[in-house]
Homo-oligomer: A and B are copies of this chain.
Amino acid sequence: MTLTAVGSIAFDTVSTPFASGERLLGGSAVHFALASSFFAETSIVGPVGGDFEEHHLQMLRSRGVLTDEVQIDHAGRTFSWRGHYDYDLNTAHTDETQLGVFADFTPALSERARACEVLFLANIQPSLQRQVAQQCASAAFIALDSMNLWIQTARDELLSTIELVDCVLLNDAELRMLTNRPNLLAAAREVISLGPRVVIAKQGEYGAALFTEEDFFALPAFPLENVVDPTGAGDAFAGGFIGFIAAKSADVSHENLKRAMAYGTAIASFNVEELGTARLQRLTGEEIAERVAELRRITQFIEEPVELRSRPQA
């Protein structure tokens, strides 16, 4: 199935205790598409400025990403983010955000992009996400990411956008904030009651949990001794997860959703091994398959009944 991803294309300047880099190619749509393009033809929709170079577009195309819908405003500058992480790599600290061309971004989808069968709405203003969702009326599966900023400043728009989608990806704190429910299972069930069939709780170094109306699945993160830069890991996860669903013709049986979680988890683990999108840019299908197999090995156990002692009477 064809996939369209709408989100940011950015230059990230990142500093972690383990590495740092300037103006690295990033953005939610880029991390997503470098992952999803392993599974489905992915078109990215997002704005860039005159400082965005042709070799970046070429790299994306070399990875099977369609760049026709990248909106180039030669007079403007590409969205840029500068941030750092402390030893606790779970929390990104923003030092500077320059919206550039992203400030006035209105997604303009071609007829081809609108006809996509699967749609990913990366973390942008909820009413823009809603516009896009309405344009892609024939999509069989629409997924949405968001963040605390929109929960706080555009809560109603976000809720009415959530009603339109099949899948919501948020981190634990965001799910709790959105629903005012401290219990994660209760929070996820409340989001499902709004319309989506699938809710994914992103849990950083602890992996991810998947909720549907009648079922549950959780997968730990792949253990790494060398985590360099978590930027974009959630989008890479989304790319693997949603890409897999697109490859399976949007068949969201529970077994497929579980496998999709494994592919998302595997690709996210590669994403964090190097700065920015460096690792994803040279990732191979064989490496993904190997890591999914390894992930299976380290999370699966074989049940074997044990004889439990009967209780003596008091």
Chain A residues in contact with chain B, CB under 8 A? 17, 37-41, 58-59, 61-64, 87-89, 182-186, 189, 203, 205-207, 209, 215-220, 223-227, 244, 247-248, 255, 258-259, 261-263, 285, 288-289, 292-293, 296, 298-314
Residue pair B301, A262 in contact (C-beta under 8 Å): yes
Residue pair A303, B217 in contact (C-beta under 8 Å): no
Residue pair A183, B218 in contact (C-beta under 8 Å): no
Contacts of A248 in B (CB 8 A): 306
Residue pair A285, B259 in contact (C-beta under 8 Å): no
Give the CA-CA distance A169 to B173 in the complex, in Å: 27
Give the CA-CA distance A302 to B260 in the complex, in Å: 11
Contacts of A292 in B (CB 8 A): 303
Could you list some 5 contacts between A and B, CB below 8 A?
A58-B314, A61-B312, A206-B207, A218-B299, A285-B308
- Which of B63, B88, B224, B296 interacts with A182 by CB under 8 Å? B88
Residue of B whose beta carbon sits closest to that of A42: B309
Residue pair B209, A301 in contact (C-beta under 8 Å): no
- Which of B182, B207, B226 interacts with A220 by CB under 8 Å? B207
- Which of B62, B296, B310 interacts with A313 by CB under 8 Å? B62
Give the CA-CA distance A313 to B64 in the complex, in Å: 9
Known: A37-B309, A219-B220, A285-B308. A225 touches B299 (CB 8 A): no
Contacts of A61 in B (CB 8 A): 312, 314
Contacts of A64 in B (CB 8 A): 309, 311-312
Residue pair B223, A220 in contact (C-beta under 8 Å): no
Residue pair A308, B218 in contact (C-beta under 8 Å): no
Known: A218-B220, A259-B302, A298-B216. A307 touches B247 (CB 8 A): yes
Contacts of A306 in B (CB 8 A): 39, 244, 247-248, 259, 263
- Which of B38, B58, B87, B311 interacts with A309 by CB under 8 Å? B38
Residue of A63, A216, A227 with most chain B CB atoms under a 10 A cut-off: A216
Give the CA-CA distance A224 to B225 in the complex, in Å: 31
Known: A224-B185, A306-B248, A313-B62. A217 touches B299 (CB 8 A): yes
Give the CA-CA distance A218 to B63 in the complex, in Å: 33
Contacts of A225 in B (CB 8 A): 183, 185-186, 189
Contacts of A311 in B (CB 8 A): 62-64
Residue pair A303, B296 in contact (C-beta under 8 Å): yes
Give the CA-CA distance A217 to B304 in the complex, in Å: 17
